[in-house]
Amino acid sequence: MPKVLISDKLSPRAEKIFRDRGIDVDVKTGLDKEELIKIIGDYDGLAVRSATKATAEVIDAATNLKVIGRAGIGVDNIDIPAASAKGIVVMNTPFGNSITTAEHAIAMMFAIARKIPQANETTHQGKWLKSAYMGVELTGKTLGIIGCGNIGSIVANRAQGLKMKVMAFDPFLTPERAVEIGVSKVELDELFAKADFISLHTPLTDKTRHIIDGDALGKMKKGVYIINCARGGLIVESALKLALESGHVAGAALDVFEKEPATENDLFGMENLVATPHLGASTEEAQENVALQVAEQMAEYLLTGAVTNALNMPSVTAEEGPILKPYIELVEKLGLFGGQIAETGINEIRIEYEGAVAELNTKPLTAAAIVGVLKPSLQEINMVSAPTLAKDRGIVVSETKRTQQGVYESYVRITLVTQRQERSVAGTIFSDGKSRLIQVKGINVEAEFGDHILYVENDDKPGFIGKLGTLMGDQDINIATFNLGRSAAGGQAVALVEVDGDIDSAFLAQVRALPQVVVAKALKF
């Protein structure tokens, strides 16, 4: 029975979801790092919010951990590279608090436009400073959204309801999607130059860190308002302070800061700054939603292998699983075949999907192919860690998809580019649901993947098969299947001989000594 640790405060209904699915669960909140390291090895899953820090040290101690689930969007508290290297899936719940965060951004925009917090404070003090808090309308103003994904698009929709004009900068926003949600897709400098209000909704990456710096602020309209309910590291706070002091930026509303908890900050106390303590996701509805979602996702993965909202592995729905399963087995075996016959270091892995398989979700298939290719040299590898391990080794991975070209309804070919050569293998799924090898090095040859296969490259000359058969008989090696292929009469040939047990190095040496043999290898599946 899988076992899950809930280490941050979640809705009690999350615990119930685990138990109802037959998963053992412990709730232990407020653990320090040493306490977490001491017990984490007992668990298959870890459910967290933002308090628990799943550092590399914690992950190293997590000997049985298979999945970390973050109830929320941000995963700054999880060392994803360390988890990926260890084959641990990291999931979040990107949609559970989207509306809540978007609403907070709109609320912050109203707050700075109408100076609501400042007016509230002085009114409570008994001061009636009506003329001191002249605001601006939102109607007719231009809102520039940086990052127009799920939350950004909701903000755009709400702003349009306020009769604002909306423009967006997002490298991943397609022109078609921009039209669909009613925003103008622009470059960043144009957004800076034209926006009356700028709202940030992008993740924090190397490319987006400090996207709002002194230069960016200088390109903005005088009197611009800035809202950040995304990540603190997007803004250079010292530059923003200068812009607020000079009046170039009329007001800023920040829910996030470079260092959190932000108990001290140079921006605090500024009259034209509205600050909240990372409340973007802080509604009862959002916290309930993300808790239930993370429990459902983790339970589904632990029980069925379905992957949803993973940050380091392609998602596979429960419906896709049975369809993809035979193809995952096929591509991993093709990769394992290629990885075992490659003679030098691998520089590139090319994967071609043709026919019906090209219409499927191929990302998990590509991950499985990498697993197969690298498994001969890296025994501890899975579909989570494979892409990271390939990247760390400088291996370029590419996919190509096309419609059916030949007789096979589905066809997959993996080509390994090494320092000195290229080696390709191709396969398909037959009607019996079993994987078949159908081509090696461009030579057609049909074979099942047995547990033990003698692979031979040889010159196509008379007498070879008899000599090989005699040698195997002399060594008391039983042949299960014998499959042959050749490029042309008298040209290159391959032999795939399935045997009943391990093939030892002494026998391989004898095979390699046969006059026609170029390559002989013992393959295991």
pLDDT (tens digit, 0 to 9) for every residue of the chain, 525 residues total? 899 999 999 999 999 999 999 999 999 999 999 999 999 999 999 999 989 999 999 999 999 999 999 998 888 899 998 998 888 999 999 888 899 999 999 999 999 999 999 999 999 999 999 999 999 999 999 999 999 988 999 999 999 999 999 999 998 788 888 999 999 999 999 999 999 999 999 988 788 999 999 999 999 999 999 999 999 999 999 999 999 999 999 999 999 999 999 999 999 999 999 999 999 989 999 999 999 999 999 999 999 888 888 888 877 877 788 888 899 999 999 999 999 988 767 899 999 999 999 999 998 999 999 999 988 877 668 788 788 778 877 899 999 999 998 889 999 999 999 878 899 999 999 988 889 999 999 999 999 999 999 999 999 999 999 999 999 999 899 999 999 999 999 899 999 999 998 898 899 999 999 999 999 999 999
CA distances 459 to 135, 465, 470, 494, Å, are: 86, 11, 18, 8
The sign of the CA dihedral 208, 166, 196, 114 is negative
The answer on 346 and 270 residing in a single domain is no
Q: State residue 6's pLDDT score.
A: 98
Q: State residue 130's pLDDT score.
A: 92
The answer on 451 and 404 residing in a single domain is yes
Q: State residue 344's pLDDT score.
A: 67
User: Is 343 a member of any domain?
Assistant: yes
User: Is 280 a member of any domain?
Assistant: no
Measured CA to CA, the distance from residue 429 to residue 411 in angstroms comes to 8
DSSP H stretches of helix in 31-127: 33-39, 56-61, 80-85, 98-114, 116-124
Of 340, 111, 147, nearest to 231 by C-alpha is 147
Residue type, 110: F
Q: State residue 258's pLDDT score.
A: 95
Of 462, 434, 458, nearest to 446 by C-alpha is 434
User: Is 311 a member of any domain?
Assistant: no
The answer on 242 and 224 residing in a single domain is yes
Beta-ladder partners of 439: 426, 444
User: Is 352 a member of any domain?
Assistant: yes
Q: Looking at the chain, how many residues does it have?
A: 525
Tell me whether residue 57 is exposed, middle or buried, using C-beta atoms within 10 angstroms of its C-beta: 0 to 12, 13 to 18, 19 or more: middle
Q: State residue 414's pLDDT score.
A: 97
Among candidate residues 70, 104, 231, 413, the one labeled active-site is 231
With b for 16 or more beta-carbon neighbours within 10 A and e for fewer, the 115-145 pattern comes to bbebbeeeeeeeeeeeeeeeebebeebbbbb
Among candidate residues 104, 278, 413, 423, the one labeled active-site is 278
User: For this structure, is 260 an active site residue?
Assistant: yes
The answer on 354 and 459 residing in a single domain is yes
- Residue 64 belongs to a domain with what CATH number? 3.40.50.720
The answer on 364 and 489 residing in a single domain is yes
The answer on 196 and 241 residing in a single domain is yes
Half-sphere exposure in the Cβ direction for 22 (13 Å, CA): 5
Q: State residue 68's pLDDT score.
A: 97
The answer on 351 and 246 residing in a single domain is no
User: Is 516 a member of any domain?
Assistant: yes
With b for 16 or more beta-carbon neighbours within 10 A and e for fewer, the 475-506 pattern comes to eebeeeebbbbbeeeeebbbbbbbbeeebeee
- pTM score over 0.75: no
Q: What's the total number of domains in the chain? A: 3
- Residue 330 belongs to a domain with what CATH number? 3.30.1330.90
Residues 6+ apart with CB under 8 A from 512: 519, 520
Asked if omega into 203 is within 30° of 0 (cis), the reply is no
The answer on 427 and 443 residing in a single domain is yes
With b for 16 or more beta-carbon neighbours within 10 A and e for fewer, the 268-299 pattern comes to eebebbbbbebebbebeebbbbbbbbbbbbbb
The answer on 342 and 449 residing in a single domain is yes
Q: Are 452 and 498 in contact (CB under 8 A)?
A: yes
Measured CA to CA, the distance from residue 411 to residue 397 in angstroms comes to 18
Measured CA to CA, the distance from residue 413 to residue 193 in angstroms comes to 50
With b for 16 or more beta-carbon neighbours within 10 A and e for fewer, the 87-104 pattern comes to bbbbbbbbebbbbbbbbb
User: Is 181 a member of any domain?
Assistant: yes
Structure tokens at 150: 């799920």
Domain extent at residue 434 = 320-520
User: For this structure, is 413 an active site residue?
Assistant: no
β strands within 261-357, DSSP E: 273-275, 346-355
The answer on 87 and 36 residing in a single domain is yes
Of 81, 21, 71, 66, nearest to 309 by C-alpha is 71
Tell me whether residue 367 is exposed, middle or buried, using C-beta atoms within 10 angstroms of its C-beta: 0 to 12, 13 to 18, 19 or more: buried
User: Is 314 a member of any domain?
Assistant: no
The answer on 266 and 326 residing in a single domain is no
Q: State residue 380's pLDDT score.
A: 67
Q: State residue 14's pLDDT score.
A: 96
Among candidate residues 103, 258, 260, 399, the one labeled active-site is 260
User: Is 164 a member of any domain?
Assistant: yes
User: For this structure, is 278 an active site residue?
Assistant: yes
The answer on 418 and 324 residing in a single domain is yes
Q: Are 44 and 64 in contact (CB under 8 A)?
A: yes
